């Protein structure tokens, strides 16, 4: 399972909270379907935003293209973190009436308390503050361009885009299964909260995020968990002042609570990916260090297209990741294999 930007507090003085709503599910579904790197790895999304057979209307596809190009899925999530809306209509009204400076400020990503004053100044149009935000986020694959987009966007057009994509996604994706989605999300939160009562907080956090290597962070006093269905099996993290956010995949038992013999799809993918000599060979090599596709091709007597297929299977299982054409082993996911299997067998 891919986790980004981890950090936790060892002491038991932090707060663990859950939030769930169809607004979050919509925004995360939009984020998932427009993330090209996730193609073929999502459990409940067969066709990505640009696939002509995805069943989306032309109007929705147009808005999703803008999401893909400008990463405005991040804007949706940022605004939801500042929102008190419980329904789509309430959220739409909030966005429509939001002052320009407020929208820009809330849309900029939080990158640490030391740069909060720069975020506020950049929202007011300060070029020096904007340059600072871009400089300190230079290592992020999309933050610098996203920050520039938010700083220079026509706010009326941006509002229209955000409202349009959420409204159309609700109509075409959420509404047809609204009751089912709501039940699954609420069931998962209820199950997790029951587990929390019987577990140490740090152990609980590692359990929900499916990783055993998280370390405390003194700047974090709250952990916010937000469950999702359409982004399964991936966990994504984000930062807010004093808070670490985890958008995590709901458990298989939350989808089908009547069947405790039904293993989580990610568990099946992991062991299926390991059931091949070539893939085990690749995984061992990547554990020794990251490598490009070309480097791996030169080491194994396998066609590049075949090798790419094997790497895709390992990636869809969360056992490896990729960054700028280089592949690397996901050590947390590998380490948790035995624990994942044991947990399923004992549940």
What pLDDT sits at residue 13?
Answer: 63
Q: Which segments in the chain show pLDDT lower than 70?
A: 1-13, 211-214, 324
**Same domain, yes or no, for 185 and 202?**
yes
- pLDDT digits 0-9 by tens, 32-87: 999 988 888 788 888 898 898 889 999 999 999 999 999 999 999 999 999 999 99
Q: How many domains does the chain contain in total?
A: 3
Does 7 fall in a domain? no
Domain range for 59: 22-176
Distances in Å between the Cα of 230 and the Cα atoms of 41, 227, 276 are 11, 10, 28
**Same domain, yes or no, for 165 and 200?**
no
Domain boundary among 208, 231, 255: 255
Q: In terms of C-beta distances under 8 Å and separation of at least 24 residues, what long-range contacts does 176-184 make, across chains too?
A: 178/22, 181/22, 181/25, 181/229, 182/22, 184/229, 184/250, 184/254, 184/255
Does 3 fall in a domain? no
What pLDDT sits at residue 2?
Answer: 44
Domain boundary among 255, 290, 310: 255
**Same domain, yes or no, for 66 and 101?**
yes
The DSSP string of 162-189 is HHHHHHHHIIIIIGGGHHHHHHHHHHHH
Does 110 fall in a domain? yes
**Same domain, yes or no, for 315 and 170?**
no
**Same domain, yes or no, for 246 and 275?**
no
Does 168 fall in a domain? yes
**Same domain, yes or no, for 240 and 318?**
no
What pLDDT sits at residue 143?
Answer: 95
What pLDDT sits at residue 338?
Answer: 87
**Same domain, yes or no, for 108 and 156?**
yes
**Same domain, yes or no, for 143 and 241?**
no
**Same domain, yes or no, for 148 and 292?**
no
| Structure tokens, 288 | 């020794």
Does 152 fall in a domain? yes
Domain boundary among 255, 281, 303: 255
**Same domain, yes or no, for 68 and 118?**
yes
**Same domain, yes or no, for 159 and 303?**
no
**Same domain, yes or no, for 98 and 170?**
yes
What pLDDT sits at residue 266?
Answer: 78
């Amino acid at each position: 399972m891919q986790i980004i930007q981890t950090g936790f507090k060892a002491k038991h003085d932090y707060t663990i909270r859950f939030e769930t709503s169809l607004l979050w599910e919509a925004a995360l579904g939009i984020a998932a379907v427009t993330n090209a790197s996730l193609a073929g790895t999502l459990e409940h999304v067969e066709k990505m935003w640009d696939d002509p057979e995805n069943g989306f209307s032309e109007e929705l596809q147009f808005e999703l293209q803008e999401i893909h190009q400008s990463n405005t899925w991040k804007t949706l999530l940022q605004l939801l973190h500042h929102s008190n809306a419980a329904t789509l209509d309430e959220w739409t009204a909030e966005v429509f009436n939001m002052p320009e400076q407020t929208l820009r400020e809330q849309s900029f990503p939080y990158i640490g308390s030391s740069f909060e004053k720069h975020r506020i100044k950049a929202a007011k149009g300060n070029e020096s503050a904007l340059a600072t935000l871009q400089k300190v986020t230079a290592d992020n694959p999309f933050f610098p361009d996203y920050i520039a987009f938010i700083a220079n966007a026509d706010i009326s057009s941006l509002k229209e885009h955000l409202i349009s994509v959420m409204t159309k996604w609700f109509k075409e994706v959420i509404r047809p299964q609204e009751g089912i989605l709501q039940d699954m999300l609420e069931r998962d939160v209820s199950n997790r909260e029951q587990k929390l009562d019987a577990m140490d907080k740090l152990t609980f956090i590692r359990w929900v995020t499916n990783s055993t290597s998280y370390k405390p962070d003194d700047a974090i006093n709250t952990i916010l968990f937000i469950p999702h269905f359409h982004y399964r099996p991936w966990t994504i993290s984000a930062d807010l002042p004093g808070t670490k956010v985890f958008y995590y995949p709901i458990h298989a038992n939350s989808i089908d609570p009547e069947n405790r013999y039904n293993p989580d799809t990610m568990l099946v993918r992991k062991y299926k990916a390991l059931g091949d000599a070539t893939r085990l060979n690749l995984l061992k090599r990547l554990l020794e260090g990251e490598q490009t596709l070309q480097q791996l091709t030169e080491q194994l007597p396998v066609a590049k297209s075949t090798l790419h297929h094997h790497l895709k299977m390992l990636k869809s299982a969360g056992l490896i990741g990729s960054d700028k054409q280089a592949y690397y082993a996901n050590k947390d996911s590998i380490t948790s294999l035995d624990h994942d299997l044991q947990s399923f067998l004992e549940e």
